[in-house]
Amino acid sequence: MQRFQLYIDGAFCDGEASFDSVDPATGKAWAQMPEAREADVDRAVESAHKALYDGPWSKLTATQRGKLLYKLADLVAANAARLAELETRDTGKIIRETSAQIAYVAEYYRYYAGIADKIEGSYLPIDKPDMEVWLRREPVGVVAMVVPWNSQLFLSAVKLGPALAAGCTLVLKASEDGPAPLLEFARLVHEAGFPPGVVNIITGFGPSCGAALGRHPRIAHVAFTGGPETARHVVRNSAENLASTSLELGGKSPFIVFADADLESAANAQVAGIFAATGQSCVAGSRLIVEASVKDRFLALLKRKAEAVRIGSPLDMATEVGPLATARQRQHIDALVERSSAAGARVVTGGRVPVGEGFYYPPTILDCDGVDSPSLAEEFFGPVLSVVSFETEEEALRLANDTVYGLASGVFTQNLTRAHRLMKGIRAGVVWVNTYRAVSPIAPFGGFGLSGHGREGGLAAALDYTRTKTVWLRTSDDPIPDPFVMR
């Protein structure tokens, strides 16, 4: 089996323990991973703290930081094939997606490399004649970053890029499920020449690693991607050190199709929105809300496309849907489909665990019209689509907003004024119109409600990793007239 190590204070090392990582396509162990525990976490955070305040990183100019990020971007691009293969092997995500996504991840590092020396302070036209006042933007401090197993190189890039551009140092915790690509990514960080302690990459389990990281007294900010329940633990932990948080959580995203939409294009986007990445995406368009007059036609089109999806080895470029990442994830999905069927949802296609090795689950469509199905409220994080119909635009909007989440949404219509009304009315951090799953380093991303707070991507993300310092300079040479009066 392959063997991986932690990356702490510029060096590769073993953890206090180790564990096996399972290949989702076979259900068998393929690699040995280091398990960081509290002592390892403490070493990583202390090294990040030292690098931030005492090491060479603190003396680099913003332009020099940007050059290191440019070098990291080039290394990611050059090693994309190796990183993609590891992510596919360790998480089951298909190679055609990991290859494309990781190649694009390099663009996020390039974007934030360019941002590094454009994070500006300001001068205040203060109301006192003998004072000059400036605002400085400085690094928020040591950042704890926690990412899940799905799209982890992308989800780490939208955190590392802006944090490093802002001058922070960090400890990144890869998920215990499928950490191989991020532990390998540490080698690129090392090769790029970042000073020791600036980037530390570890993995381990929640109670002994994640909790210890989030509550560490040296941590100033926690950037977390995952589910709402774990996020609640993160927020409770932050009470120990009063760290600020940014939370990118789950979703139950509405996908609205009107009768005037290009149905073929909408169907392709719906397939991308729910079956791509085997549905293991926080922005999965898992609730299809389709106009009643075209429901049967659109559902038949989707059924044909779902049943034509090629399921197979995630390492085969021809595969379109691979296995789920873990056995427990498949159990969760299968149980939720069963509960939804018992509640009256009709299985249009799929819905059964296939025979054979690996954690596969077929593309599944549930017709939930007129049914109070749990599939309409609970997040599957898998290739399962729940369908309801509507008669009016007002009803479509009500159904779209009938959720505790608010991460993403899709609207398909040729009516421009209707599109603008829905853009305004939908309570979600992202609204895609006549497209789905489009991302860019230039565009902020994040949610409302139980989908979290804070934004990743764009200039705003880099500013979130800074804090403002106000500097007052008295310009008068006269003595301060009265020390007991605030001026």
DSSP 354: P
Does 405 share its domain with 459? Answer: no
> Which positions are annotated as active-site residues?
248
User: Residue 344: what pLDDT?
Assistant: 96
User: Residue 486: what pLDDT?
Assistant: 80
Does 243 share its domain with 258? Answer: no
Between CA 225 and CA 426 the distance in angstroms is: 23
Q: Is residue 417 part of a domain?
A: yes
User: What tens digit of pLDDT does each residue of 443-452 get?
Assistant: 999 999 999 9
Does 299 share its domain with 221? Answer: no
CATH number of the domain that 118 lies in?
Answer: 3.40.605.10
Order of strands across the sheet with 142-146? 11-13, 6-8, 199-203, 169-174, 142-146, 219-225, 244-248, 452-453
Residues 6+ apart with CB under 8 A from 136: 121, 468, 469, 470, 471
Mean pLDDT of the region 374-392: 96
Q: Is residue 478 part of a domain?
A: no
Between CA 103 and CA 106 the distance in angstroms is: 6
Does 461 share its domain with 399? Answer: no
Contact (Cβ atoms closer than 8 angstroms) between residue 85 and residue 95 = yes
User: What tens digit of pLDDT does each residue of 4-25 get?
Assistant: 999 999 999 999 999 999 999 9
Does 123 share its domain with 144? Answer: yes
Order of strands across the sheet with 384-390? 346-349, 364-367, 384-390, 287-291, 254-257, 410-412, 432-433
Phi and psi (nearest 5°) for 228?
-60, -35
User: Residue 269: what pLDDT?
Assistant: 97
User: What tens digit of pLDDT does each residue of 454-466 get?
Assistant: 999 999 999 999 9
Mean pLDDT of the region 213-220: 97
Query: At residue 416, does pLDDT exceed 90?
Result: yes
- Concatenated DSSP letters of 443-466: S-B--SGGGEES-BSHHHHHHHTE
Residues 6+ apart with CB under 8 A from 120: 137
The rounded Cα 336 to chain-centroid distance in angstroms is 24
- Concatenated DSSP letters of 82-137: HHHHHHHHHH---HHHHHHHHHHHHHHHHHHHHHGGG---EEE--S-TTEEEEEEE
Residues 6+ apart with CB under 8 A from 404: 252, 377, 449, 450
Q: What is the total count of domains within the chain?
A: 2
Question: Between the CA of residue 159 and those of 82, 168, 333, what are the distances in Å?
Answer: 22, 11, 29
Q: Is residue 439 part of a domain?
A: no
User: Residue 487: what pLDDT?
Assistant: 75
Q: Is residue 24 part of a domain?
A: yes
Q: Is residue 405 part of a domain?
A: yes
Between CA 19 and CA 175 the distance in angstroms is: 13
Helix (H, G, I), strand (E, B) or coil at 25: coil
CATH number of the domain that 423 lies in?
Answer: 3.40.309.10
User: Residue 139: what pLDDT?
Assistant: 98
User: Residue 403: what pLDDT?
Assistant: 96
User: Residue 481: what pLDDT?
Assistant: 87
Does 284 share its domain with 227? Answer: no
Largest CA distance in the chain: 87
Q: Is residue 415 part of a domain?
A: yes
* Count of alpha carbons within 13 angstroms of residue 480, beta-carbon side: 8
Contact (Cβ atoms closer than 8 angstroms) between residue 257 and residue 263 = yes
Does 224 share its domain with 312? Answer: no
10 Å CB burial of residue 308 (0-12, 13-18, 19+) is exposed
Phi and psi (nearest 5°) for 174?
-80, 150
Does 13 share its domain with 108? Answer: yes
Between CA 160 and CA 154 the distance in angstroms is: 10
Between CA 361 and CA 324 the distance in angstroms is: 7
* Count of alpha carbons within 13 angstroms of residue 332, beta-carbon side: 13
User: What tens digit of pLDDT does each residue of 285-303 get?
Assistant: 999 999 999 999 999 999 9
pLDDT cut 70: percent of the chain above it: 100
Q: Which structure tokens are listed for 152?
A: 């982890």
Helices (H) and strands (E) in the chain, counts: 14, 21
Does 137 share its domain with 268? Answer: no
Q: Which structure tokens are listed for 104?
A: 């694009």
Q: Is residue 23 part of a domain?
A: yes
Instruction: Write down the pTM of the prediction.
Output: 0.95
DSSP 194: P
User: Residue 268: what pLDDT?
Assistant: 97
Query: At residue 183, does pLDDT exceed 90?
Result: yes
DSSP 159: H
Q: Which structure tokens are listed for 279?
A: 């549905």
Does 245 share its domain with 259? Answer: no
Under the banding of pLDDT at 50, 70 and 90, the label for residue 1 is confident
Does 189 share its domain with 99? Answer: yes
User: What tens digit of pLDDT does each residue of 304-330 get?
Assistant: 999 999 999 999 999 999 999 999 999
Residues 33, 34, 38, 43: what is their CA dihedral angle, to the nearest 10 degrees? -140
Does 260 share its domain with 404? Answer: yes
Domain extent, residue 134, equals 2-249+447-471
- Average predicted confidence (pLDDT) for the chain: 96
Under the banding of pLDDT at 50, 70 and 90, the label for residue 42 is very high
Between CA 450 and CA 438 the distance in angstroms is: 22
User: Residue 208: what pLDDT?
Assistant: 93
**In 275-344, alpha helices (H):** 295-308, 327-342
Q: Is residue 390 part of a domain?
A: yes
